[in-house]
Amino acid sequence: MNRHPEFAIDLDKIIASKSKGKKLPAFLVRWMKRILHVDFLNEYLTRGHVGVDFCTNAVKYLDVTLDVQGFDKIDTTGSTKYTFVSNHPLGFDKIDTTGSTKYTFVSNHPLGGIDGVALGSIVGEAFDGHIRYLVNDLLMNLKGLAPLCIPVNVMGNMQSRDLNTKIDEAFASGDQMVMFPGKLCSRKIDGTSSAPARSTAGSRTCPGARHSSARA
């Protein structure tokens, strides 16, 4: 297997880019590398998968089995325009299947990682790789995933000057859009994994939400 060492993440450089000149204690950086399983991640990342192939092979690498229901009702020709899925157990039965709508997939983000790549794999394979994510800009450090992503700074108020243009172009393109507008992943509450009940209105993670009629 050919390796791509340039795809590995360097946590020290990532921390430096976000810490605004402040240096974290070495023991804390070591703890973060351990808790984030950086070596385990780099073992996969250096395999060099890119785009939807990155998502699909990540699911396999993590030995996850996906149970997908209702997706066969979606028109995957790419000729549909702006139908949005809101709260519904499956949501898919509300989608126009006449072939005249483009989709925006708005999802919960309970696990913070595998759910994102799983959805990318399912939707990406169905639409022949034509998907884009609105993501935390930290994910741009995953070079295999980055080509699918529009980065949003969720840890500060400064955004790139061309962010709105990129979002406009993505929604106007033939790509299917994927977003997780809640911004927060689930947290353990009394031993149970549960997402906090928060409005997504005005969330910095989805400045392009003005394009849709979706409701949280």
pLDDT digits (tens, 9 = 90+) for 192-202: 545 444 433 33
CA-wise closest residue to 47 among 108, 2, 77, 10: 2
Report pLDDT for 126.
81
Range of the domain at 34: 1-48
CA-wise closest residue to 4 among 53, 45, 60: 45
Query: Mean pLDDT throughout 96-107?
Result: 65
Do 129 and 80 fall into the same domain?
yes
Do 140 and 40 fall into the same domain?
no
Query: Quick check: 108 and 185 in contact, CB under 8 A?
Result: no
Do 42 and 83 fall into the same domain?
no
User: What's the token pair of residue 56?
Assistant: 């699909």
Do 24 and 73 fall into the same domain?
no
Do 37 and 112 fall into the same domain?
no
Q: Residue 216: inside a domain, yes or no?
A: no
Instruction: Provide the mean pLDDT of the chain.
Output: 76
Do 75 and 182 fall into the same domain?
yes
Do 18 and 79 fall into the same domain?
no
Q: Residue 30: inside a domain, yes or no?
A: yes
Do 91 and 121 fall into the same domain?
yes
Do 41 and 84 fall into the same domain?
no
Query: Mean pLDDT throughout 11-23?
Result: 85
Q: Residue 1: inside a domain, yes or no?
A: yes
Instruction: Report in angstroms the alpha-carbon separations of 1 from 4, 107, 143.
Output: 10, 34, 18
Q: Provide the domain count of the chain.
A: 2
Do 37 and 104 fall into the same domain?
no
- Condensed to tens digits (0 to 9), the pLDDT of residues 125-154 reads 888 888 999 988 889 999 999 999 999 887
Query: Mean pLDDT throughout 161-177?
Result: 87
Dihedral Cα 150, 154, 155, 158, nearest 10 deg: 70
Q: Residue 53: inside a domain, yes or no?
A: no
Do 22 and 121 fall into the same domain?
no
Q: Residue 214: inside a domain, yes or no?
A: no
Q: Residue 8: inside a domain, yes or no?
A: yes
- Condensed to tens digits (0 to 9), the pLDDT of residues 21-48 reads 788 899 999 999 999 999 999 999 999 9
Do 36 and 92 fall into the same domain?
no
